[in-house]
Amino acid sequence: MHRDEIPPGTLYLLILKTLGRSGEMHGYEIANSIQRISDDVLQVEEGSLYPALQRMLIKGWVTAKWGTTAGNRRARYYQLTAAGRKQLAVEMSQFERVIGAITRVIEAV
Amino acid sequence: MNWLREVARRLRMLVHRSQFDADLEEEMHLHLELRQQEHFESGMTADSARAAARRRFGNATYLKEESRIAWGWEWFENLAQDVRYGARILRKSPGFTAVAILTLALGIGANTAIFSVINGVLLSPLPYKNPKQLVVIKEHDSLPNVIDIQRQTRSFSQGGGINVEKMDYIGATEPVQVRVGLVNAGFLETLGVQPVLGRIISPAEDVQGGPHLAMVSNHFWQDYLGSDPHAVGYTIQLGGNSYTVIGVMPASFAPPAEHADVFVSLIVRDPGAGAERDLHFLHTYWRLKEGVTLAQAQADMAAIDRRLAEQYPAEEKERKSQLVPLHEWLVGDVRSALLVLFGAVGLVLLIACANFASLLMMRAVAERRELVIRAALGAGRGRLIRKTLTESALLSVLGGAAGLLFAKLGTSMLLTLRPEELARLSGIHMDTRVLLFVFVVSVLTGIVFGMAPAWIAARADVAEALKESGRSTTASTMGHSIRRILVTSELAVALVLLVGAGLLIKGFSRLSSINPGFNSANVMTMYLQLPKTRYGEIPKQTQFRRELLTRLNSLPGVQAAMVTDIPLGGNYVGHRFVIAGRPPVAVGGEPKVQTLSVMGDYFHVMQIPLRAGRDFTPLDREGQPLAAIVNEEMVREFFPHENPIGMRIRWAGDTGPPQWMTVIGVAGDVKHSGLNQPTDPAVYTPFSQNDEAWRRFMMLAIRARDVSPGLVEEVKKQIWSLDGQIPVSDVYAMDELIAVSLAQQRFNMLLLGLFAALALILAAVGIYGAMAYAVNQRTHEIGIRTALGAQRRDVLRLVMRDGAKIALFGIASGIAGALALTRLMASLLFEVKPTDPATFAGVAILLALVALAACYIPARRAMRVDPMVALRYE
């Protein structure tokens, strides 16, 4: 099956949105969630989630704490902060503006 | 606020770095495992499931690195790594490390010690309120003049004078003499001192017939008043008068140049002072008004001087008051010496740095293969330079730390050696400014002098370096020639320092071999002052003096005499005088001579030779014709073509009938004000014919076979058997006074000598290192030469010629440098030209010998090279 690379710069948005929808998640769950919801179209190079998550930790958009998975394994769970929610809104509107513009360009006769 | 929290998060990450790694590792591991599990469950084999999981994950190592870098601590980690690595390397070669650190520590230590002195003396502000506004008038002045200046000035907000007089203080266990600062009300106010207890005297109290009030220094309060917090109101007995204590000064306070234990009003203690315009004995301090410049104040002062001269032509005709900023006046004498020493010690540091750089370079060449391998494995050029620099900075910081220890020793040594001029400025210690100085100097040293080796390292050409066998590549020959330049400059700088030290030593030996005009051996001196209450009249003074000398001279083996001011004792009285039969000179324009009164066989006791005429005898006494003995300088200046014996002179400004004195003898010149000072014309008169009742003081001069503390006690016993309330002070051996007068020159000479010795040692180590290294590098070549029949002598010549060339270049450029630089120290030299050829030649030969000796050791090693071993070495 063909999978598309995610557009550059949207990784934060995807993570923020995913976390915003489902509360706490660990990295593997985030990767799976993005893939599943995009009907397997969006393919993240899964490892690159982790540097991104670190940057988001620095920015204070997410917090992390260790918990236990259903399979009783130790995992680090990420959760959105208030700053993260605000950032999500910012990124959403930015994204929509860009997509809207691109759409208009493509659909122009 | 957000960025603050972000910084906090980053810092937390830095502290928990290892936890961070473990967490990331675990997190990624879980991810991979879960993915692998998923693939496995969908039917893949275990192996392909793992491979697929890895593929989807990406390069885990790279991603971990990315995650770490995100936190921004990469530079720190690299630095920490470099430092750790550097420390390991340094531990592994303790010899190199010790030599490098010691070299730098000597240079930095010596610099820090001198810098702490400069910091304390030249850079720190004086401990007074707004010290920049304070000025002094160089010339002493009288109270009426000070009052007039205060009234007329438009530039000074405050001003006041002080003269310190010793007075006996009754109230301690035995009669002691304390130093009483006779001041006017403006003095303490000008310096802006706030008493810790009580108050200072007000202008209303500082008047003729005012109350007897005393302000005591903190140490007087501690020593004699038991630090009593209720000391204000106490009555103390000073010089036969009762004074009420009204204030206690803070411990930090001392007059700028005087030592005083108590301060009292001059005019209260001596009501006549208000009228004595021509008695210039007050040293005065003034505070400039806000915004007034020194030049404006000087112009204002000149106008006041002119007015005073017109108004009082008899006393003030030659007034010329020079204003000097207080700080400049205090450090004037030491300033040039300290700056020369600082320059010298800077040169020592330069040599130390050159040695340091040369050591590093030697290492860089030796380590090149390692660096090249690192480069081949992908280390960036910047990273390699950073690694080398870290190593040298590490060394130099360690050197700086060790240097602080040397500096601590050095500073305490300086303080024991310090001349009087430094002693009065107490702020010599290591403060933050000094520590900062050391830190900056050592880090800069490491970086600047680590640059060359780092550069060599960075030029590493991988392919070539891996091919070579450790010799004769471009980089190492370049390193070699840089090292030769370094060693040459070391020798040059060392020569400059040696010349400087040599000149000072020569000047000092000239100075200390100067004949002071008397024989200081076995002579001691002490100061006595007769209380005014019981010895106000001259006959009583004379009686006491005569009786005391009779008693002292009856002690076995003792010859005693007395004089108003002992040579090198720091006191000086001058009078104007008139010669009989010469055309009259305008009043106030008469020539001035030093004036001394003596009693007993003064010239005999001091062994001052009599050049002509006769000595005083007991018959030259009160009621007899007035007699005077003049010194040779007086004859040279005033009687160049006549026989002075029988000439008559009198003091100018005498009221009443003229008191003519007849010159009866000529005494040899005496260095009164210092060995390097010219001798003034001087007139000696008998104490008993003295008509100045205020001269109640005297210095005993006692020659004895054995000058011991026992003798001092015996003399004191004799004094107190005559009058038990006469304090004795300033007990010195004349030899001590001579030593004190040489202290500044000795200080300069010892320090510069020490620096030059340091420079010599460092330069010798430098040239030794360079030659040893060169011989080591040429072992192969020497082996071949020997195998081809070169004699040991030829090998010796080969190596020595190399060393001699370096030494010659170094010495030649050093001489050029010294010729340019020694001019700066001309003011420190006594009767030696800064270009003294003998010193230059001697020093050049010394340096050449040391350099050749340093080359000889590696040269001998070269002679013993076994050709077989050298050739097998390949």
The DSSP string of B157-204 is EEEEEEEEEEEEEETBSS-EEEEEEEE-THHHHHHT---SEE----TT
Instruction: Say how far residue B646 (Cα) sits from the centre of its chain.
Output: 50
Q: Per residue, what are the HEC states of B787-807?
A: HCCCCHHHHHHHHHHHHHHHH
Q: Which two tokens stand for residue B443?
A: 């880090």
- Are both B462 and B573 inside the same structural domain? no
Domain end residue (candidates: B321, B355, B382): B321
Residue in chain B lying closest to A52 (CA): B67
User: Using the beta-carbon criterion (under 8 Å), do B67 and A26 form an inter-chain contact?
Assistant: no
Does residue B132 form part of some domain? no
Contacts of A2 (CB under 8 A, 6+ apart): none
- Are both B119 and B147 inside the same structural domain? no
Chain A residues in contact with B9 (beta carbon < 8 A): 57-58, 60
In terms of residue numbers, what domain contains B157? 139-321
Question: Of 1.20.1260.10, 1.10.3720.10, 1.10.10.10, 3.30.70.1290, which CATH number belongs to A4-107?
Answer: 1.10.10.10
Interface test with A, best of B5, B19, B36, B57 (most A CBs within 10 A): B57
Instruction: Say how far residue B354 (Cα) sits from the centre of its chain.
Output: 26
- Are both B545 and B666 inside the same structural domain? yes
Does residue B851 form part of some domain? yes
User: Which of B707, B730, B381 minimizes the C-alpha distance to B529?
Assistant: B730
What secondary structure letter does DSSP report for B123?
I
User: Using the beta-carbon criterion (under 8 Å), do A45 and B31 form an inter-chain contact?
Assistant: no
pTM over 0.80: no
- Are both B254 and B352 inside the same structural domain? no
Domain end residue (candidates: B660, B694, B725): B725
Instruction: Please report the beta strands in B229-340, taking only residues with DSSP state E, as ranges in sequence order.
Output: 235-238, 241-248, 262-265, 283-288, 323-325
Residue in chain B lying closest to A32 (CA): B35
User: For residues B322, B325, B329 and B330, what is the CA-based torsion angle, rounded to 10 degrees?
Assistant: 150
Mean pLDDT of A31-40: 83
Does residue B77 form part of some domain? no
Distance CA A90, CA B873 (A): 72
CA atoms within 13 A on the CB side of B612: 14
Interface test with B, best of A44, A46, A86 (most B CBs within 10 A): A46
- Are both B476 and B462 inside the same structural domain? no
Distance CA B700, CA B523 (A): 10
* Total residues found in chain A within this entry: 109
What secondary structure letter does DSSP report for B122?
I
Distance CA A67, CA A27 (A): 12
CA atoms within 13 A on the CB side of B801: 6
Label the pairing between strands B235-238 and B156-170.
antiparallel
User: Using the beta-carbon criterion (under 8 Å), do B30 and A26 form an inter-chain contact?
Assistant: yes
Distance CA B750, CA B135 (A): 33
Q: Write out the H or E segment, with its range, that includes residue B436.
A: helix B432-458
Distance CA B266, CA B264 (A): 6
Q: Per residue, what are the HEC states of chain A?
A: CCCEECCCCCHHHHHHHHHHHHCCEEHHHHHHHHHHHCCCCEECCHHHHHHHHHHHHHHCCEEEEEEECCCCCEEEEEEECHHHHHHHHHHHHHHHHHHHHHHHHHHCC
Label the pairing between strands B262-265 and B176-183.
parallel
Cβ contact B30:A28 at 8 Å: yes
Q: Which two tokens stand for residue B428?
A: 């010599």
Left (φ > 0), alpha (ψ -120 to 50) or beta: where does B815 sit? alpha
Q: Write out the H or E segment, with its range, that includes residue B854.
A: helix B837-863
- Rounded to the nearest angstrom, the minimum Cα separation between B450 and chain A is 37
Does residue B432 form part of some domain? yes
Mean pLDDT of A3-13: 72
Could you tell me how many CB contacts below 8 A there are between chain A and chain B?
Answer: 65
Angle at B185 between CA B183 and CA B191, to 5 degrees: 85
Amino acid type, A2:
H
Handedness of CA A75, A81, A85, A90 (dihedral sign): negative
- Are both B854 and B786 inside the same structural domain? yes
Chain A residues in contact with B28 (beta carbon < 8 A): 27, 47, 50
User: Which of B499, B503, B493 minimizes the C-alpha distance to B810?
Assistant: B493
Cβ contact B718:B551 at 8 Å: yes
- Are both B552 and B427 inside the same structural domain? no
- Comparing CB atoms, the residue among A45, A55, A76 nearest residue B58 is A45
Question: Partners of B686 in the beta sheet?
Answer: B598
Chain B residues in contact with A28 (beta carbon < 8 A): 30-31, 34-35
Q: Per residue, what are the HEC states of B656-717?
A: CCCCCEEEEEEECCCCCCCCCCCCCCEEEEEHHHCCCCCCCEEEEEEEECCCCHHHHHHHHH
Chain B residues in contact with A59 (beta carbon < 8 A): 6
Does residue B80 form part of some domain? no
- Are both B195 and B307 inside the same structural domain? yes
Confidence (pLDDT) at B470? 47
Confidence (pLDDT) at A1? 44
Handedness of CA B95, B98, B101, B105 (dihedral sign): negative
Residue ranges for chain B with pLDDT beneath 70: 1, 333, 368-369, 418-430, 453, 456-479, 654-655, 872-874
Domain end residue (candidates: B451, B466, B481): B466
Distance CA B46, CA B305 (A): 110
Question: Partners of B576 in the beta sheet?
Answer: B592
Question: Partners of B558 in the beta sheet?
Answer: B704
* Mean pLDDT estimate for chain A: 85
Distance CA B334, CA B628 (A): 39
User: Which of B754, B757, B626 minimizes the C-alpha distance to B684?
Assistant: B626
- Are both B601 and B714 inside the same structural domain? yes
Distance CA B499, CA B836 (A): 9
Instruction: Say how far residue A46 (Cα) sits from the centre of its chain.
Output: 11
What secondary structure letter does DSSP report for B874?
-
User: Using the beta-carbon criterion (under 8 Å), do B34 and A57 form an inter-chain contact?
Assistant: no
User: Using the beta-carbon criterion (under 8 Å), do A27 and B31 form an inter-chain contact?
Assistant: yes
Instruction: Please report the beta strands in B358-446, taking only residues with DSSP state E, as ranges in sequence order.
Output: none
* Total residues found in chain B within this entry: 874
Chain B residues in contact with A31 (beta carbon < 8 A): 31
Three-state DSSP at B530 gives coil
- Rounded to the nearest angstrom, the minimum Cα separation between A28 and chain B is 5
Residue with tokens 């020793």: B409
User: Using the beta-carbon criterion (under 8 Å), do A60 and B23 form an inter-chain contact?
Assistant: no
Question: Partners of B242 in the beta sheet?
Answer: B237
User: Which of B855, B698, B122, B215 minimizes the C-alpha distance to B433?
Assistant: B122
Task: Give the residue numbers in B contacting A (CB under 8 Å), as ranges.
Answer: 2, 5-6, 9-10, 23-24, 26-28, 30-31, 34-35, 56-60, 63-64, 66-67, 70-71
| The total number of structural domains that make up chain B | 5
How many other CB atoms are found less than 10 A from the CB of residue B713?
10
- Are both B213 and B171 inside the same structural domain? yes
